[in-house]
Structure 1
Amino acid sequence: MAEPLNFASLNLSEHILKAIDEQFYQQPTLIQQQAIPLVLKGRDLLAAARTGTGKSAAFALPLLHRLAQGSSAKSNQVRSLILVPTRELAVQVAESVQSYAKYLPLRTTLAYGGVKINPQMMQMRKGVDVLVATPGRLLDLYRQNAIKFHQLEVFVLDEADRMLDMGFIADIRKIMDVLPRRRQNLLFSATFSEDIRKLARKLLNNPVEVSTGAPNAAAKTVDHWIVPVDKKKKPVLLLHLLGENSWSQALIFIRTKQAAARLTRYLKGEGIKTAEIHGNKTQSARQRALAAFKDGDVSVLVATDLAARGLDIEQLPVVINFDLPDVAQDYIHRTGRTGRAGLSGQAVSLVSADEFDRLTDIEHLLKRLLLRKLIDGFEPSHDVPESRLWRKKKKLKKTEKSEKPGIQQKDAAKSNTTSRRSIINHKKRDTNKRTTVRKKTARRQK
């Protein structure tokens, strides 16, 4: 089956195609080619798609096409629900939906926390065709009878793996319980863990599974490398890398809010235009920082994982991990911010000796070792050990049940048992000796 060469071949309406054309989209991405025809047919979908692959359009375009053919939403009713983990992602998805629905008589509304709920309740009174919401605020609106789901046709769960990582599973279950049983369900996730599979089994009905590549894989358009360095030298090394490379902009990930604030102050003090987004910033401050970065008013954006989830920045040349993430999958989400839409990018990680375990977890997830580059003047005094990929131990072949162990096998078993007992007794004697020595030493110190 030949792949579609343009959006017109996907049987989308003329109004949607006109809006797409104004976005300068040339050709549907792989996830869009796979997902759009299935969603148009009303099928439930389990999709593995990293950020930057065009997944928002993959569910939004066919969703809008179907909604445009139905009846308008009544007061407080919602016809489609797109559930996302963060406010930033909610804003970006809603903006995308509104741009695609530019020539359609459909209403799109946002619902997220951190702002007053009354304006959102007023928006719901008019009825909503597409609601983009975060779990907590959606439940608040439902408990206050500001939202009803009798007209709900489609439920989209976006970035499902991030939802679970952020502890939203209980809220997701509550939301699923109040939705009508007859609906179309679409689940999108960058990684497929057993927890995601378990959630999919409860949410989806006879789903079709599509994927843009191996789950848990990093984008092929990104060049990954690490720089071993002592922790205390990381800020100066970062400054050196920013000065030596011709990166127009850089997104820097750091583990804590306090560290993000310190690093931002340091970079500003060195004359680099820097903004920061993290949990201690208000929603309006985070939106201003992100807008300034997107507009090119600042060249460096320092972010924590929670604050940066869902960031969509076009043509970002590099992502720098000032600290390695605690969870290996977060490395894929972080580095997925660069190398989007087929463009090339770089993922640079500053790694100190105490981060070795995190490094090996990431390399195991990627199934390859990351290239190491030593920078002159920044060679670490505490070396980062050489890492190796984990390998599963080969299972010994089981003998047939009908076979009886021969004399040699029995003798070998007895010999092994004797050896184990000898080792255990030897260890006990060593332990007793060490205990005796410690007691004598303690008496002398008294």
Structure 2
Amino acid sequence: MGDDTAATTTATDDTEPKYVEFSEMGLDSRLLRAIDSCGWRSPTLIQERAIPLALEGNDILAKARTGTGKSAAFALPILHGLLAIKDGALASDDSARHVRALVLSPSKELCAQLTQHFRQLTAYCSREITVLDISTGRVDDLKGVMTAETPDVIVGTPSRVLLHIEAKHLPSLKRELRYLAIDESDLMFSYGYEQDLTRVLQSVPAIGCQSFLMSATLNPEVKALKKLCLHNPVILKLEEPELPESDKLLQYHIECHEEEEKFVLINSMFKLGLIRGKTIVFVSSVDRCYKLKLFLEQFGVRTCILNSELPIASRCHAVQQFNAGVYEIIIASDEKCCADASQRKSKKSHSKRRPDEEYGVSRGIDFQYVSNVINFDFPTTVQSYTHRVGRVARGDDSGEGTVLSLICPPEKDYFETVKASFGSGANFRPYQFRMEELEAFKYRSRDALRAVTTIAVREARIKEIKREILTSQTLKSYFEANPKDQKVLKHDRALHTVKHKQHLRDVPEYIVPPTLQSMVKSKKGSNKRLEEEASLSYTPKRKRRPKHVKNKKDRDSDPLKTFRFNARKRGKPKLKNRRK
């Protein structure tokens, strides 16, 4: 077993290895073609260090920041090894299929993402290597696929994999497994997988199985896993800051005197165009998601929600729509990281609603081209703040992003703890917002907020669940056999949704701060479009994902500006055009 004296590589070593391209690593040509199709120009730091070592057969324990390409760092060596096994089997006329790679992840969202990632990398060898996500669906329904069409790679949460092992769907796992990867391994125990993971590891080979532990931190849980499944591992502890560099990440905060001010601020920022680009808004619960969504809808600001109570397919669909540009704003509850693991385990929920225990959003999910993260509810731990911030300034995106935290007095201590943990290098800046210029927005927001009652939030949640039931492919055959049940759902009583008032969607000039008058006039067409799209019945037109902005001037611009700076910057081009 590995110990603490195992080899360690750091990114700041004087003897760091020479930079290598993917084509110089000795990867299979079919994988190189897939890499080229994905548009990866060069390996990230973790990929550059881990892949050559993994191809030599070493067990890997890697610590790297979220968004640095850890998935490909273990997926590419695994697929390269599987292709070598397949080619050898063809030469020896041994065509028997076995599950030879097992990938474990703490949440269903991450499992779906990893499966998609593997399928992208097997685009040119899909006949040779098959991948199956077993984190969802009924165990019995997957029996035929698991036994008759045995996949080469299976992806799942520890609890789901254990169910299949107990159902004897993986009879050759102990004998034939060659690769084991545990992604986001530092979250496994905090998600309650300690016993399940231990039992799964008892069903994998003790020797002859190469293992990967990928993590954002090296906490005691990871060290415990290291002893269970790694053999003399190479430890890649990349010496990089927990947050992106200050020139790539701008961190603002606004101190609010009361809860109502948060709603006033976020409404005015979206309506006045102070927040530009794709935005993730983090809140502390599902109820808060719907409260904020219903509030913003009244002003013509269209959003989507990540709801832990909906099926995994619906949650993944919301992420896909956000990534495709159908929605510019996504509101996500960060329930898993709102408290320490010990507090979560001891705390009993009195709610009748049962969210998915294998739901997670702040870690690992690949939100693409995110410009802003808004902490509407400030996280209670440094780790949660770090992983929320990891959604922006990612390696494959523009490399730049903005974080805005709205902080009420009860959250002040959490903010001070985060600020102290990162020191002066993190460059936290107060956002110079003129609250005295938002009196008109305050009156409007107060009326809109008053309409978002507890009943309205509950009814909105019921409406979405009802819609999911009616459109569920799983229940399609049931409704065909029981049309009366479907009719009852369709003609159920009317829900008490929030009434939208047209005047709230308009932004008359007299309520616009003087320093933003010129900018808002130029955005009238855009505001009208937002108003049209705000209704729940609106069906967006399919559009191509916008190409990545390559203009240096646009890339360096800050998507979050103060009143004075915004007005001055946007006013000058108009004068120049008039002179011409």
Q: Same fold (TM over 0.5)?
A: yes
Matched, 1:241 2:263: no
Q: Partner of 1:404 in structure 2?
A: none
Q: Is contact 1:46–1:186 with CA below 8 Å preserved after alignment?
A: yes
Kindly provide the amino acid, as one letter, of the partner of residue 211 in structure 2. N
- TM-score, normalised with respect to structure 1: 0.80
Residues 378 and 79 from structure 1, CA distance in 2 versus in 1: closer, same or farther, beyond 3 angstroms?
Answer: farther
Kindly provide the amino acid, as one letter, of the partner of residue 377 in structure 2. D
- TM-score, normalised with respect to structure 2: 0.62
Q: Partner of 1:26 in structure 2?
A: 41
Q: Deviations over 1:176-209 (max 9, x none)?
A: 1221101111101111223322322332111111
Report the Cα distance in structure 2 between the residues aligned to 1:99 and 1:227, rounded to whole angstroms.
Answer: 41
Q: Which 10-residue stretch deviates more, 297-306 or 11-20? A: 297-306
Matched, 1:265 2:286: no
Residues 367 and 76 from structure 1, CA distance in 2 versus in 1: closer, same or farther, beyond 3 angstroms?
Answer: farther
Report the Cα distance in structure 1 between the residues aligned to 2:140 and 2:297, rounded to whole angstroms.
Answer: 38
Matched, 1:123 2:108: no
Q: Which 10-residue stretch deviates more, 302-311 or 270-279? A: 302-311
Q: CA deviation at 1:172?
A: 1.4
Q: CA deviation at 1:25?
A: 0.8
1:138-217 matches, within 5 Å, as: 138-148=161-171, 149=173, 150-182=175-207, 183-214=209-240, 217=242
Matched, 1:52 2:67: yes
Q: CA deviation at 1:74?
A: 8.2
Q: Deviations over 1:142-194 (max 9, x none)?
A: 11111231211111010112223322222211211221101111101111223
Q: Is contact 1:80–1:152 with CA below 8 Å preserved after alignment?
A: yes
Q: CA deviation at 1:378?
A: 7.1
- Pick from 435, 451, 458: which aligns with 1:377? 435
Kindly provide the amino acid, as one letter, of the partner of residue 145 in structure 1. K
Q: Partner of 1:13 in structure 2?
A: 28
Residues 226 and 378 from structure 1, CA distance in 2 versus in 1: closer, same or farther, beyond 3 angstroms?
Answer: farther
Provide the secondary structure at the position in 2 that maps to 1:155. Answer: strand
Provide the secondary structure at the position in 2 that maps to 1:340. Answer: coil
Report the Cα distance in structure 2 between the residues aligned to 1:359 and 1:232, rounded to whole angstroms.
Answer: 19
Report the Cα distance in structure 1 between the residues aligned to 2:383 and 2:285, rounded to whole angstroms.
Answer: 17
- Pick from 128, 134, 137: which aligns with 2:160? 137
1:279-428 matches, within 5 Å, as: 279-305=308-334, 306-308=359-361, 309-341=363-395, 343-368=399-424, 370-377=428-435
Q: Is contact 1:83–1:133 with CA below 8 Å preserved after alignment?
A: yes
Q: Which 10-residue stretch deviates more, 288-297 or 300-309? A: 300-309
Kindly provide the amino acid, as one letter, of the partner of residue 331 in structure 1. Y
Q: Is contact 1:89–1:310 with CA below 8 Å preserved after alignment?
A: yes
Q: Deviations over 1:347-391 (max 9, x none)?
A: 211111101222133224323463222421179xxxxxxxxxxxx
Kindly provide the amino acid, as one letter, of the partner of residue 164 in structure 1. F
Q: Which 10-residue stretch deviates more, 217-226 or 178-187? A: 217-226
Report the Cα distance in structure 2 between the residues aligned to 1:2 and 1:160, rounded to whole angstroms.
Answer: 26
Matched, 1:231 2:259: yes
Query: Which stretches in structure 2 are left out of the alignment for 5+ residues?
Result: 1-15, 335-358, 438-580
Q: Partner of 2:57 in structure 1?
A: 42
Matched, 1:253 2:282: yes
Query: Which stretches in structure 1 are left out of the alignment for 5+ residues?
Result: 380-446
Q: CA deviation at 1:256?
A: 0.8
Q: Is contact 1:110–1:120 with CA below 8 Å preserved after alignment?
A: no
Question: Deviating runs (4+, > 4 A) in structure 1?
Answer: 71-76
Superposed CA RMSD: 2.2
Q: Deviations over 1:112-133 (max 9, x none)?
A: 13x3333432221122211111
Q: CA deviation at 1:219?
A: 2.0
Report the Cα distance in structure 2 between the residues aligned to 1:123 and 1:178, rounded to whole angstroms.
Answer: 20
Q: Partner of 1:408 in structure 2?
A: none
Residues 38 and 351 from structure 1, CA distance in 2 versus in 1: closer, same or farther, beyond 3 angstroms?
Answer: same
Q: Is contact 1:228–1:374 with CA below 8 Å preserved after alignment?
A: no
Q: Deviations over 1:299-350 (max 9, x none)?
A: 1101122441432022110111111223320111111111111611112111
Report the Cα distance in structure 1 between the residues aligned to 2:229 and 2:412, rounded to whole angstroms.
Answer: 38
Q: CA deviation at 1:13?
A: 1.0
Residues 174 and 365 from structure 1, CA distance in 2 versus in 1: closer, same or farther, beyond 3 angstroms?
Answer: farther
Q: CA deviation at 1:62?
A: 1.1
Q: CA deviation at 1:75?
A: 7.6
Q: Deviations over 1:41-80 (max 9, x none)?
A: 1111110122211111111111100111114798884201
